[in-house]
Amino acid sequence: MSVQLSIRNLTKRYKTGEGVTDISLDVKKGELVTLLGPSGCGKTTVLRSIGGFLEPDSGEIMIASRNVVKLPPEKRPTSMVFQGYNLWPHMSIYENLAFGLKIRKTPKSEIKSAVEEALRLVRLPGVEKKFPSQLSGGQQQRIAVARSLLLKPEVLLLDEPFSALDAKLRHEMREELREIQTETGLTMVFVTHDQEEALSLSDRIIVMNQGNIEQIAAPQDIYDSPDTLFVAQFIGKMNFLKGVVEEDKLRVGSLVFPNTKRLEGSIVIAVRPEDVMIVADSGEGDGLHGTIKQMMVLGHYAEVSVELDGHGTIRAFQPRDRVKELSMGQRVTVAFAKVIAYPNK
Ligand SMILES: Nc1ncnc2c1ncn2[C@@H]1O[C@H](COP(=O)(O)OP(=O)(O)OP(=O)(O)O)[C@@H](O)[C@H]1O
Ligand SMILES: [Mg+2]
């Protein structure tokens, strides 16, 4: 697939010194990528630079092989969906949607059918005559998406578009956005600080931290193999234990693992709760020993907290049936199916 959006060495520093530094990334045609990271990490700064609402200090932004850095927003082949819906309250939905096309001098009959098609895509056919105030928040956000789709952008930019909606609606909107993407083949850059949203929605995730990119990868790879300690902490639930490299093996207490990353000295071991194995053997077997401190049944699985002797508390996900064999205060042995190691800085 061809590259639709290419950012090279983008730097944008505000007067305060904050911003983003040396951002490079490629988005393929038809791909949905998310910029994910904590508040203030620079997601909106990158998105606004793509849309032309911010002038970068340096770097290139190519869309369909054309450098757009010098173009104002209206001349760029992008359109942006904001967190607030930004619909004009005194205009009907039809007028809100038709506005951009009228400016482009699109013939009336074409506008009418394009608006109909866009409303169908966002599952709101027939609301042309209504006013924004007569629609719910979720419906207004759908209209905002429809308005952007009508401009037939080469890249659609979405900045936390669903964050004002309740959890259930947010979930639905994600699925709908995915369907729209499949149907239209549109290239999208989506901004969120919600890791679950990013994991469920994206072809690839760009994890950002403090104005830099930490990792770019598919959701499953980000989850299975976080490149940095930051990504390991930010994505999903994770346990962290201190360890050490000895004789080219990673060691945590009596547990040893291969040193695939060739680390040295003091390390941090990361373990997903689903990779923690618990053996009810009075805490005498091979592994780390500890005492069960808490058990919470969460539907089809349970979260078990074990206070390890000298290694802190660890959380484990266990199948619900398994938990019946365990009890509070019980001594157990813990081992890990899979670990990821990082230098302890
Ligand atoms: N106009 C501005 N002037 C000065 N500093 C700014 C400006 N806009 C953003 N910043 C700073 O730049 C950094 C990145 O901001 P940005 O809005 O890109 O973050 P973000 O990742 O979108 O955060 P959020 O998740 O809160 O929306 C932040 O530290 C922010 O305070
Ligand atoms: Mg932002």
CB of 47 shorter than 6 A to ligand 1: no
How many of the other CB atoms lie within 10 Å of CB of 252? 22
Taking residues 18-41, report their average pLDDT.
96
CA pair distance 292, 300, nearest whole angstrom: 20
First to last CA, the chain: 39
Q: From the CA of 211, give the closest atom in ligand 1.
A: 14
| Dihedral over alpha carbons 208, 212, 218, 219 (to 10 degrees) | -20
Distance 193 CA to ligand 1 centre (A): 13
Same topology between domain 3-232 and domain 237-343: no
Q: From the CA of 46, give the closest atom in ligand 1.
A: 18
Output the average pLDDT for the chain. Answer: 93
Query: What pTM did the predictor assign?
Result: 0.91
CB of 48 shorter than 6 A to ligand 1: no
CATH code: domain 237-343 is 2.40.50.100
Whether pLDDT at 334 is above 90: yes
Distance 320 CA to ligand 2 centre (A): 39
Pick the CATH number of 3-232 from 3.30.70.1520, 3.40.50.300, 3.40.190.10, 2.60.120.10: 3.40.50.300
* Atom 25 of ligand 1, residue of closest alpha carbon: 39
CB of 2 shorter than 6 A to ligand 1: no
* Atom 7 of ligand 1, residue of closest alpha carbon: 14
* Atom 6 of ligand 1, residue of closest alpha carbon: 14
Whether pLDDT at 332 is above 80: yes
Whether pLDDT at 85 is above 90: no
**Nearest ligand to the CA atom of 37:** 1
Residue 322: the pLDDT is: 84
In the chain, what are the domain boundaries?
A: 3-232, 237-343
Residue 266: the pLDDT is: 96
Taking residues 44-53, report their average pLDDT.
96
pLDDT digits (tens, 9 = 90+) for 234-288: 999 999 999 999 999 999 999 999 999 999 999 999 999 999 999 888 777 788 9
Strands 312-319 and 301-308: antiparallel
Q: From the CA of 43, give the closest atom in ligand 1.
A: 21
Residue 118: the pLDDT is: 92
Protein residues near ligand 2, an ion, with CB under 5 A: 44
pLDDT digits (tens, 9 = 90+) for 95-149: 999 998 998 889 999 999 999 999 998 889 999 999 999 998 888 989 999 999 9
